[in-house]
Amino acid sequence: MSYIDHYKKLIEAEFKANKNFYFMKAVAPGADYFIENGFPLKKKGNERWKYLDLRNVASSNFTKSIYEERISNDFDSVLEKLASCGINIVEDEILIVGDYENHLSGRNFIEPEGIGASSPSKTIIGEIADPEEDGFIALNAAVADITSFWIDKNFSQKALNIVFAGQSQGDRLSTERICIKIHANTEVTINEIHFDSDFNTLNIPVLEIYLDKDAKLIHNKVILGSDKDMNFNFTRVFQEEGSYYENTSFCSSPSIGSNDIKVIMAGQGSECDLRGIYFTNNKAQFNTHVTVDHLAPNCKSNQFYKGVLSDESKAVFSGKIFVERDAQKTYATQKDLNLLMSKGAEIDTKPSLEIYADDVECFHGATAGHVDESGLYYMMSRGIEKEIATQMLVRGFADEIIDSISDDKIRKFVSNKTELILPSLSFK
Amino acid sequence: MDKKILSIKNLEASVSETGEEILRGLDLEISEGETHVIMGPNGGGKSTLVNVIAGRDSYEVGSGSIKFKSENLLDMTIDERARKGIFLAFQYPSEIPGVRPWQFIKAAVDAKRKANGDSELSVREFSKIYDGNLKEINISPDLMKRSLNEGFSGGEKKRNEIFQMMMLEPNLALLDETDSGLDVDALKAVGDAVNNMRDSKRSFLIVTHYQRLLDHIKPDFVHVLINGKIVESGNYDLVKKIETDGYESFV
């Protein structure tokens, strides 16, 4: 049986069990698209995925774990892992998705003031993440576990930690869909955390975020992968006038995966700042795909990504800046810098600009290089051993991204993670 | 009896990448407590010499030997040499993004102390020495909150080199054109710092083009390096001869 037939059966089973109000909006179109197109395996004309080898994805036949069987021991293990991030259930607002009863009224999440479940008529599912944009998003839509909520001013200045659980129960497919509507004049932090798994998993989380006028969202994304994880992570953001969106991603690569972000700047005077660091090792393949669509005038966007690649790993950065004819006075920048730690590591970095307005300022640049020999010599000439000096240089390289994370707990957590990653990198 | 700290015999070295010969049979001996100056025209091999002593691997040593105290220096890695007490003040210090000066120098001092069997300094002890030396060489503590050498002016980088020398207290300090690009105040600060560190055990090898640094630091010996060889050695009077006659008279 082909993988499409396998997932088709899964989709049909879901439909039977659970035909709901999201169906017409995203689920049905996602199902149709996936059954027809499958995963984006084609090389030709497929700029986003053609550099990755998706054969393992295409030979997969995962099933979702049975909803009712996702039990609370998973909940406990997630809390334990969270404690290592300094996040605890007493002080912090935690939403665990993937566990049984992950919805907002469930026992795992005490609905704090300023957050509430979206009514079915007001959910934004499928409006920002187009189910027909990509085979992964389509499959997510077709069999999604949906969490849909809004955040308003009463939650301002606070952080919501969204943690993806349900990974401790064996091999599985996970298709979480989180839809978040941030109300006008609301300033919040969302920390999205994916722990690595001990089992073979295909994770396709999709976040859809709507920022109303003058809303401000700091979104910190932590993706920790193991050699068993396949993790294709999507974030789709829609910005109204005067809103601010910041995304800082820390990715320690799964065996194969992606950090795929698209921001639609629809309201004038809005701003987005997208940054990230990715570490890849062994034979990992990791794709960072960032698109900013400037549809309105006077908007500002920044893309700044860094990669540290070792062993025989491969990373792809494809960054796109699209400026619509009406989006005058756009200011957009893009930068992707890569450190290759070994001869076998490979980076494909491809900036792309598509500009239809005439009064804009856009800048882009990309580099790939080995550890700076003269810097290494300088440090060693002070008595610091080569390995330590190299680690300090890589650390310094990564810190430019890590230091900019405003959430103290997440910054410390990924900083400690980096300390653990550094000695495992091969410096050859 | 004077104790040799550095003994170079018939040293030949070339650029690894191009094979271009730079040092062609160079001899030099430095004893404990001595300050030597090397002068010479551009391209003569001055910078190559100090970098070969420090261990830079973009140079290949063809033949000859370098002994540091009684040990064969050419067998040691760059960092081993530094921990044994060799320090190079760079002509063009590297900028190291994301690495803070404090963290960098602490790592260097810790590495050296560990190699010598000394215990690690507490943060408090280290900070006291660090702050004292910063004050002495007149570097603003705010500057040292940046990444190492990033956004430093030419003069600030050179002061930072001397600051690191003060922190690491080497047995043999190599100063590669530390005076170039310095204003009069910075020149005096560098001169004072070197003079304060001169003692009966510590030696200096100073590469320079100009007499002006030597108005502050009076060397014991002066050598003229031309075309990869030392062609003349003498005392301070040699500096005056160079100033009046140029290098042509040595060729």
B interface with A, Cβ–Cβ < 8 A, is: 54-58, 77-79, 81-83, 87-88, 90, 93-99, 103-105, 107-108, 111-112, 115, 147, 164, 168
- A183 vs A95, higher pLDDT: A183
Residues 355-384 of chain A with CB under 8 A from chain B are 372-375, 377-384
Distance from CA of B51 to the nearest CA of A (A): 10
Query: For residue A255, what are the contacts with CB-CB under 8 A and spacing of at least 6?
Result: A56, A225, A226, A227, A228, A229, A230, A282, A283, A284, A285
What's the ipTM? 0.97
Q: What is the pLDDT of residue A17?
A: 67
Contact yes or no for B62/B12 (Cβ under 8 A): yes
DSSP B148: B
Distance from CA of B112 to the nearest CA of A (A): 6
**pLDDT 10s digits, A173-215:** 999 999 999 999 999 999 999 998 888 889 999 999 999 999 9
**pLDDT 10s digits, A25-64:** 788 899 999 999 999 998 788 888 988 999 989 988 888 8
| Interface touch B96/A398, C-beta < 8 Å | no
Contacts of B104 in chain A (CB under 8 A): 379, 382, 384, 392
What is the rounded CA–CA span in Å between residue A137 and residue A48? 13
Contact yes or no for B206/B35 (Cβ under 8 A): yes
**At A101, is the pLDDT very low, low, confident or very high (cuts 50, 70, 90)?**
low
Contact yes or no for A371/A386 (Cβ under 8 A): no
Q: What angle do CA A137, A61, A144 make, to 5 degrees?
A: 35
DSSP A217: E
A312: left (phi over 0), alpha (psi -120 to 50) or beta: alpha
| Interface touch B104/A392, C-beta < 8 Å | yes
**At A20, is the pLDDT very low, low, confident or very high (cuts 50, 70, 90)?**
low
Distance from CA of A198 to the nearest CA of B (A): 34
| Interface touch A395/B98, C-beta < 8 Å | yes
What is the rounded CA–CA span in Å between residue A280 and residue A277? 10
Q: What is the pLDDT of residue A27?
A: 86
Strands of A187-194's sheet in order across:
A93-97, A159-164, A187-194, A216-224, A244-252, A271-280, A300-309, A330-340, A360-369
Minimal CA–CA distance to B43: which of B57, B24, B22, B20?
B22
pLDDT reading at A111 higher than 80: no
| Interface touch B107/A372, C-beta < 8 Å | no
The chain-wide mean pLDDT, for chain A, equals: 90
Contacts of A403 in chain B (CB under 8 A): 98
Structural element, H or E, at residue A96: strand A93-97
CA distances from A232 to A191, A259, A287, B240 (A): 17, 7, 9, 72
CB pairs under 8 A between A and B: 84
Contacts of B78 in chain A (CB under 8 A): 377, 380-381, 386
Neighbours of A258 (CB within 10 A): 27
The residue-averaged pLDDT of A96-118 equals 66
| Interface touch A378/B115, C-beta < 8 Å | no
Contact yes or no for B37/B221 (Cβ under 8 A): yes
Distance from CA of B78 to the nearest CA of A (A): 6
**pLDDT 10s digits, A318-331:** 999 999 999 999 99
Q: What is the pLDDT of residue A107?
A: 42
pLDDT reading at A251 higher than 70: yes
Contacts of B87 in chain A (CB under 8 A): 381-382
A387 Cβ under 8 Å from any chain B Cβ: no
**At A106, is the pLDDT very low, low, confident or very high (cuts 50, 70, 90)?**
very low
Contact yes or no for A341/A425 (Cβ under 8 A): yes
